[in-house]
Amino acid sequence: MTNSNDMPLAANPLDRAAHHRTDEAWLEAAMQQDNVLFFLMRNGEPFVEKQGLFWMGPEARKLSPASPWLFMGEDKTGAPVFALNLPPKFDVDSSLIAGVGSFGEFRMAVGAISAMEANLVSTARSLFMWHASHGHCVKCGGRVGVVEAGWKSQCPECGAEHFPRTDPVAIMLAVKDGKCLIGRQAMWPAGFMSCLAGFCEPGETIEQAAARELFEEAGIMCDPASAEYVACQPWPFASSLMVGLILEAENFEITVDKTELDEARWITRAEAREILSGKHPELLCPPAMAIAHHILKTWALRDD
């Protein structure tokens, strides 16, 4: 059975120990402890070495003393864990970490690190990117300050509090009579197909969003009440929660919205299994890091 707790980028999370976020004295002392653990980010990319994510102790703050940081939580031993966001032009070669690793493209990097590390860098990416794009108060326009160890911002002018946003996205597989609907965007590589997806709008449920998007993008009608929940996955591009569903379709006729999709087609369960195994002569599916892979797999491995 598919389980959100085992989903890539969500598995094996730390104890976030949120009660420490408002204790500035504790946080400052924690960053100086011998057992403190820092990992490094830059432009949304983690710093990795051959064995996985590169970890540092209290000396990490010497790399860039003014750089923003996040308190991520505590590991099983009680060691505090922090993320440090280095400047975009930070020069690795002239720093303390020269020669020990490199900043890796996010999708590539998370495939080579542990599940816990992938969850950490995914979370840090979302938070750092949110702070970078939400530097002003939406109420009065004042410059906000980062508070609660990076998990909130607050305007010193009007006092308004701002919390990191997470955008719910329905990602779904329409099925009918032993077939499922997959599609592709024009920017994707040839043959690459996936589930359809779209953001949930104000005033609608995630099931209603899934049904609406299927009709808007492919002309496929589904009753939201038929939706079967599969799993969900945090997705840090920029900061989404992908909610996976399978819905029963009412029609086979496809009408593609070319502004959204380049192509959509029905495939059989046997074809879906071929795609997942990499044996389909034409089509490819998303990698196992993506929830779309697991939605397709959930349906494909069922009995006909």
Mean pLDDT estimate for the chain = 96
| Domain layout of the chain by residue ranges | 4-133, 134-164, 167-300
Please check the confidence at residue 242 and state whether its pLDDT lies above 80. yes
Q: What's the CATH code, domain 167-300?
A: 3.90.79.10
CA 198 to chain centre: 15
Strand partners, 146: 153
Query: pLDDT per residue over 260-286, tens digit each?
Result: 999 999 999 999 999 999 999 999 999
> What one-character-per-residue DSSP string does 133-201 give?
H--B-TTT-PBPEEEGGGTEEE-TTT--EE----EEEEEEEEEETTEEEEEE-TTSPTTB-B-EEEEPP
The pairing of strands 196-199 and 145-147 is: unpaired
Cβ contact 168:199 at 8 Å: yes
Q: Token pair for residue 151?
A: 């998990």
pLDDT for residue 1: 60
pLDDT for residue 3: 87
Task: Give the largest Cα separation in the chain, rounded.
Answer: 63
Q: How confident is the model at residue 304 (pLDDT cuts 50, 70, 90)?
A: low
Q: How confident is the model at residue 218 (pLDDT cuts 50, 70, 90)?
A: very high
Query: pLDDT per residue over 151-168, tens digit each?
Result: 999 999 999 999 999 999
CATH of 4-133, one of 3.40.50, 3.30.70, 1.10.10, 3.90.79: 3.90.79
Cβ contact 254:238 at 8 Å: no
What is the pLDDT averaged over residues 18-40? 98
pLDDT for residue 238: 83
Q: Which residues contact 148 (CB under 8 A, 6 or more apart)?
A: 21, 22
Query: pLDDT per residue over 113-166, tens digit each?
Result: 999 999 999 999 999 999 999 999 999 999 999 999 999 999 999 999 999 999
pLDDT for residue 188: 95
What is the pLDDT averaged over residues 54-73? 97
pLDDT for residue 154: 97
> What one-character-per-residue DSSP string does the chain give?
---GGGSTTTSS--B--GGGTT-HHHHHHHTTSTT-EEEEEETTEEEEETTEE-EE-GGGGGS-TTS-EEEEEE-TT--EEEEEE--TT--GGGSTTTTT-EE--HHHHHTTS-HHHHHHHHHHHHHHHHHHH--B-TTT-PBPEEEGGGTEEE-TTT--EE----EEEEEEEEEETTEEEEEE-TTSPTTB-B-EEEEPPTT--HHHHHHHHHHHHH---B-GGG-EEEEEEEETTTTEEEEEEEEEBS-------TTT-SEEEEEEHHHHHHHHHT--SS-B---TTSHHHHHHHHHHTS--
What is the pLDDT averaged over residues 83-93? 96
Q: How confident is the model at residue 2 (pLDDT cuts 50, 70, 90)?
A: confident
Query: pLDDT per residue over 183-197, tens digit each?
Result: 999 999 999 999 999
Q: Do domains 4-133 and 167-300 have the same CATH topology?
A: yes
Please check the confidence at residue 234 and state whether its pLDDT lies above 70. yes
